[in-house]
Amino acid sequence: MSSRILIFEDELGVRDSIGVWLSAEGYQAQTVASPLAALNAVRHQRFGLVVMAYDTPGVNFPVFLDQIRESDPDIAVVVLASSTQLEMAIQKLGRRVHGYLSKPARASEFLHVVAVTLESRWTRLQTAQLQEDLKELFPAAITASQSSHARHVVEMIYRASTTDATVLITGERGTGKEAVARAIHAASRRRMSPFAPVRCGALSESLLEAELFGEEPQRDGEHSVERSKFEIADGGTIFLDEIGSMGLPLQSHLIRVLRDKEIVRGGGAQPVKLDFRCIVATRQSLATLVRDGAFRSDLLYHLNMLSLELAPLRERKEDIPQLVSQCLQRLCRLTNRPVPQVSPEAMTRLVAHDWPGNLRELEITLQTALLTADGLEIRLSDLVGHFQFEDVVDGRTLEDVERVHIARTLQKTRFNLSRTARILAIDRTTLYNKIRRYELR
């Protein structure tokens, strides 16, 4: 947050007093006596806040404020005015400035307004930057919408990004839990350090323990292992996906790691001190698992400092048109093709669908539609294959959707793996693993 402050005040005594107050609080204060000097300063330097005296003779303050904003749209403004001119200043400038103070101002009152204004500016800028980061990093996730749920999610991401508290993200498969975790990391002070994801449900208990905590190399040097995920996340964020699948013995170990911020590698004795932030996700109810004896209640207390529930797509259908538009823009950018329109009939069908695979299923459906669409419009007929499959398969899972989508894409590319990987926006190794997993050869 910028703590550089410009004071525009033509009275020398007031100007000097304010400068002394600000310097004593650690702010970098620069004082000027004329509007021209103030404009020159703003045009050539970066300030978080400008304090300007409204009763300066000969200044058209609405115009002067416009000139300040042209030079720096993000700068915060506080107005000083005598008691006789304060009401006029409020009428003329209204909400275009961030605070008003009556002269003569007391040091405590003045410094309080400055601190609150700078904090508000920082929050505003961080929120705007977070929105941009989310659009860039996760354009097919929760960021395209202006619905109350999406606004709540963005607000919670911002709130979580300002602390190191453990975050518990809940939601069905495909709702964007990892995307939200990455967004929290990207908006936090740890953004320049690693983000280390761990798929707890995809590993056996022994492999998961080795993945998380590592193993001490044997003394003869014949055996060594890569750094554990907690060590990789040192300074950054570790993301534990599907935490509910972790066994009770490992949960006990995790409690100690979260409490002490240190690990002991398998076969080792010396603790390794670490600095990490932990974010976890689950599609299961941890409270239910606690009740059933499958999850430790004391671990849940550690994990549930901040919680965020992501609603399934069927419960926020108002988001679908915007999500479709933004997802198509991203997919077309990857394949260097024009972004097609979506016919009213096709959009109606997309909105009516319940999307059991949530955002991931939506993206897969649009990828398929782009393969079959002719021209610059996606029609209902381009979606028929996907929804016909829905009609004949009962209890379809996200894996079913992915398998069919990959199979269709492979058929269209005549099993050209490089082209298929580009269309699916994944690397060849991932594609090969999915082909083997789904037995598509």
Model confidence pLDDT, tens digit, residues 87-99:
777 877 777 788 8
Same domain, 144 and 277: yes
pLDDT value, residue 395? 46
Same domain, 391 and 292: no
The domain boundary residue, chosen from 67, 93, 126: 126
Asked if the structure places residue 177 within a domain, the reply is: yes
Q: Is the pLDDT of residue 303 over 80?
A: yes
Same domain, 305 and 338: no
Q: Is the pLDDT of residue 141 over 80?
A: no
Same domain, 388 and 334: yes
Q: Give the pLDDT mean for 309-324.
A: 88
The domain boundary residue, chosen from 126, 160, 180: 126
The domain boundary residue, chosen from 101, 126, 151: 126
pLDDT value, residue 389? 46
Same domain, 343 and 363: yes
Q: Is the pLDDT of residue 242 over 90?
A: yes
Percent of the chain scoring above 90 in pLDDT:
22
* Cα distances (Å, whole numbers) of residue 315 to 147, 342, 344, 353, 354: 11, 22, 21, 11, 9
Model confidence pLDDT, tens digit, residues 9-26:
878 888 888 888 888 888
Structural domain tally of the chain? 3
Same domain, 107 and 74: yes
Same domain, 155 and 303: yes
Percent of the chain scoring above 70 in pLDDT:
87
pLDDT bracket for residue 386 (50, 70, 90): low
Domain range for residue 83? 4-126
Model confidence pLDDT, tens digit, residues 418-437:
888 888 888 888 888 888 78
Same domain, 120 and 144: no
Radius of gyration of the chain (CA): 28
Q: Is the pLDDT higher at 305 or at 384?
A: 305
pLDDT value, residue 112? 87
Asked if the structure places residue 131 within a domain, the reply is: no
Asked if the structure places residue 133 within a domain, the reply is: no
Q: Is the pLDDT of residue 258 over 90?
A: yes
